[in-house]
A and B are shown apart, each in its own frame.
Chain A
């Protein structure tokens, strides 16, 4: 069954405590090649049947209203996942 993937990231100007914690932990593991980490989240919405434009629009609405908090987060991707 097809899936729609939604990526959500904290807005660039907003503090990301989780990313900051990871950035702090990397050098402790000897992984020194990075200057910053930002952590977002990914959702996969499974669709029963074809992904029609209506369904994709619903996914966009869900992304904007439920899956992300528009005050502090941006939706960076709403895409149909290629079938494996």
Chain B
């Protein structure tokens, strides 16, 4: 009332309530997120064309090409209606990419579910995986990677994050603003219906409570074929330069699009809401403003281009309606049947929402948790270590993910150079030069629970390492921060620490955060999920032909372990399998991480290595298993010397999750060069074995031999057993 100087109308109340919800206004997180801007140096911004605040960030990758990418959450809708929730998550992030002026080229999906054997998990896994496949495959976009994690903390609140990446020429970048008095405002795409009304404010801004009666269904149904037409139609609009500004309609629908376009522009906007094409004529104006019907876009067009715009709409058979025009009044005015129902300053709706300095404090249990180091009896002796390795590779988080990834189209469009199960997804951007990008997303909720600051840096380190392992130079970061309720000071502390960790980490690595999303209230009945900062890193390749695959193939190639192994089992996958979570996560030194990245990229560029795999969850045991199983080729491995150098036993060498490590396969003729390179930069490296195409096993010499058939059976059996 202070803002308006009078009683707000029902429609205005509706608008403020959705736009000032947690999901749209970032009211709890804003004060912390500003670090992403403050901790950026000019050097880091060198490749940044569009930063935080727009629909998605844009990065220069050279040769006149730019890439835009962003990761977002669709956690709450996916729990309510798994198939449509996950499907519209893909649709929403893809529209963010289109509205920057880019052609979407790939998607990725980091997924987190409850315990694999819980009865509700199968419902969610089936629905969510087929929803992502159903929408993404229909759009003809390759799904090049992601994550799949099972942990009981996500039982009542699965995490469905979606990342999309798009490419464009520099001159094609489009921004969401409405300027130029007299320019026309148009809504096009699907009609507006009663689906998803208040979805953003209701679903994404409150925790689930089993006792409350269910709220009005706030579910949207996606139509991937309509979206595909919308993509092509928008790209043609851009090519013909007929739109001045463009904005996709997602959370908070028309409320969000009109107020954001108007406040990012220089004037006001006058909209006649009766012009909106409706699927359901009984909708009230408030409902029309808040509807989250999918596959809609809003654009600003100069009067001269109206005809050209209509011609393109006719060609693609897309419905549109002219809603109004840009004005010079500085007000957003919305009329309904001859009556003004909204008259506000758009900035107060879109940008000047409340900012909460929520109280936060370090939980009292944190010290006790960190003191509870993994102290269980460790497997000792060859047989016990072999058994532990088979158990590890069959465990829900380490097992083969192809049951999921086979439901996604990974190679459509013919530009996928690497996809799951390799370390990063790699997409070719320019067919003539081979210029391309690599993307990886990572997070470890257990690490972040033990130490949110370090956990965020560890997620960044792993994602960075994955991109470098594939051979690409890391350039930029997008994040999706999944946390519990901000009203809980302990959760708020986790959030504040994670943001600080991520911002500090980005500065140390010299790559900026370009945009992302915050998902709060991820909790059920007062119990929050583990803090889960999902970090996506994008890297660039001068030529994707030199990508490094994650498995070895050539007989006789030398296998090297880069980096040193410490006794770091706290928070590890092995500890998790034995029901332990305590202590401190592995130490991470981002300078070392950066150096390892440079070495891996140089080795790839100079053709020294034919395979590389980073060490992360599951440590060396998982890396060696995955490298061998990738192409079904065995190896002879000798770890005694490395154990002696690092002062650890065989079990610790295999299962510790120390950071800044990678395994590479080096051709015989390149060994001297490779050793010289690592030696010159002072990076620890040791020859730990040789590829052997004959033995069909991982032969740990002097200890045990693990036949690949046995390993494969353990590795591939888990998901089909639970979901097949």
Q: Do A and B bind each other?
A: yes
Chain A contacts to B: CB under 8 angstroms:
10-17, 20-21, 24, 69, 71-72
In contact, A14 and B221 (Cβ under 8 angstroms): yes
Q: Is the interface of B mostly helix, strand, loop or mixed?
A: loop
Pairwise interchain contact A14-B226, C-beta atoms closer than 8 A: no
Q: At the interface, yes or no: B550 with Cβ under 8 Å from chain A?
A: no
Neighbouring A residues of B536 by C-beta, 8 Å: none
B279 within 8 A of A: yes
Taking the complex as formed, is B153 at the interface, i.e. its CB lies under 8 A from any CB of chain A?
no
Residue of B nearest to A12 (CB): B280
- B110 on interface, CB distance cutoff 8 Å: no
- In the complex, chain B residues whose CB is within 8 Å of the CB of A72: 81, 84, 217, 219, 221
Give Cα distance in the complex from A12 to B195, angstroms: 9
Interface string of B182-224 (1 = CB under 8 A from A): 0000000010011100000000000000000000010111110
Residues of A near B221 (CB, < 8 A) are 10, 14-17, 72
Given contacts A15-B279, A71-B81, contact A20 B193 (CB under 8 A): no
Bound CA–CA A69/B279 (angstroms): 21
CA A17 – CA B317 in complex, angstroms? 15
For B81, list chain A residues within 8 Å (CB).
69, 71-72
5 closest A-B pairs (Cβ-Cβ)? A13-B194, A17-B223, A15-B221, A71-B81, A14-B221
If A13-B194, A15-B190, A17-B225 are given as contacts, then 4 extra A-B residue pairs at C-beta distance below 8 Å, sorted by A number, are: A11-B217, A15-B222, A69-B81, A72-B221
The proximity string for B residues 622-655 relative to A, scoring 1 for CB distances below 8 Å and 0 otherwise, is 0000000000000000000000000000000000
Contact between A15 and B223 (Cβ–Cβ < 8 Å)? yes
Cβ–Cβ contact A71 & B219, under 8 A: yes
A-B contact pairs, 6 of them (CB 8 A): A14-B194, A14-B195, A15-B193, A15-B222, A71-B217, A72-B84
Which residues of chain A come closer than 8 Å to B40, judged between CB atoms? none
Alpha-carbon distance A15/B221, docked complex (angstroms): 6
B293 within 8 A of A: yes
Q: Chain A residues with Cβ under 8 A from B294's Cβ?
A: 15
Is there contact, CB below 8 Å, between B193 and A13? Answer: yes
Of all chain A residues, the one with the shortest Cβ separation from B84 is A72
| Assembled-state Cα–Cα distance A20/B317 (Å) | 13
A9 to chain B, nearest CB (A): 13
Q: Known contacts A69-B81, A71-B81, A72-B84; is A14 also within 8 Å of B193 by CB?
A: yes
Q: How many A-B residue pairs have CB under 8 A?
A: 44
> A10: which B residues are within 8 A, CB to CB?
221
Question: When chains A and B are docked, how far (Å) is the Cα of A23 from the Cα of B194?
Answer: 19
Chain A residues with CB under 8 A of B226: 17, 20
Pairwise interchain contact A15-B280, C-beta atoms closer than 8 A: no
Residue of B nearest to A10 (CB): B221
Instruction: With CB as the reference atom, state the residue of chain A lying closest to B218.
Output: A71
Contact B80 A15 (CB under 8 A): no
Task: Compute how far the CA of A21 lies from the CA of B229 in the bound complex, rounded to whole angstroms.
Answer: 13
Provide the bound-state CA to CA distance between A23 and B698, in Å: 60
Residue of B nearest to A13 (CB): B194
CB distance from A42 to the nearest CB of B (A): 20
CA distance in complex: A17, B195 (Å): 13
Please state if A15 and B195 are interface contacts (CB–CB under 8 Å).
yes
Report yes or no: B219 in contact with A14, Cβ–Cβ below 8 A. yes
Q: How close is A67's CB to chain B, nearest CB, in angstroms?
A: 15
Q: Are B223 and A13 in contact (CB under 8 A)?
A: no
Separation of A24 and B220 alpha carbons in the complex (Å): 21
Complex: chain A residue closest to B216, CB-CB: A13
Q: Which residues of B contact A69 (CB under 8 A)?
A: 81
Tell me the smallest distance from the CB of B503 to a CB of chain A, in Å: 38
A20 CA / B279 CA spacing, docked (Å): 10
Closest residue of chain A to B226, judged by CB?
A17
Among B41-87, those with CB < 8 Å from A are 80-81, 84
Instruction: Tell me which residues across on chain B come within 8 A of A13, comparing CB atoms.
Output: 193-195, 280
- Interface-centre pick from A10, A11, A14, A24 (highest chain B CB count, 10 A): A14
Once the chains are docked, how many angstroms separate the CA of A39 from the CA of B193?
17
Contact with A along B221-258 (1 / 0, CB 8 A): 11101100000000000000000000000000000000
Residue with the greatest number of chain B CB neighbours at <10 A, chosen from A10, A13, A14, A24 = A13
Chain B residues near A11 (CB-CB < 8 A): 217
A21 to B138 Cα, complex, angstroms? 15
- Which B286-325 residues have a C-beta within 8 angstroms of A? 293-294, 317
CB distance from A68 to the nearest CB of B (A): 12
Min C-beta distance of A40 to chain B, whole Å = 14
Which B residue's beta carbon lies closest to that of A16? B221
Cα distance, A14 to B217, chains bound together (Å): 10
A75 to chain B, nearest CB (A): 15
State the Cβ distance, B276 to closest chain A Cβ, in Å.
15
Q: How far apart are B307's CB and chain A's nearest CB, in angstroms?
A: 24
Chain A residues whose C-beta falls within 8 Å of the C-beta of B280 in the assembled complex: 12-13
- Cβ of A38 to closest chain B Cβ, rounded Å: 11
Bound-state CA distance A55–B103 (Å) is: 54
Q: How far is the CA of A42 from the CA of B220 in the complex (A)?
A: 23
Residues of A contacting B195 in the complex (Cβ-Cβ under 8 angstroms): 13-15
**CA–CA, A15 and B279, complex, Å:** 8
A39 to chain B, nearest CB (A): 12
| CB 8 Å contact bits of B461-503 with A (1 = contact, 0 = none) | 0000000000000000000000000000000000000000000
Q: How far is the CA of A69 from the CA of B82 in the complex (A)?
A: 11
B279 contacts across to A, CB distance below 8 A:
15
A20 to B222, CA, bound (A): 12
Cα separation A21 to B221 with both chains bound (whole Å) = 14
Which chain B residues border A12 with CB–CB below 8 Å? Answer: 194, 280
Chain B contacts for A16, CB-based, 8 A? 221
Bound CA–CA A10/B123 (angstroms)? 20
Q: How far is the CA of A12 from the CA of B225 in the complex (A)?
A: 21
A19 to B195, CA, bound (A): 16
Chain A residues near B225 (CB-CB < 8 A): 17, 21
A24–B226 Cα gap in the complex (Å)?
A: 12
Which residues of the partner chain B approach A71 to less than 8 Å between Cβ atoms?
A: 80-81, 84, 217, 219
Cα of A14 to Cα of B81 in the assembled complex, Å: 13
Cα distance A72–B220 in the bound complex, in angstroms: 9
Whole-angstrom distance from the CB of A26 to the nearest CB of chain B? 14
CA distance A72 to B190 in the complex (A): 18
Interface string of B326-362 (1 = CB under 8 A from A): 0000000000000000000000000000000000000
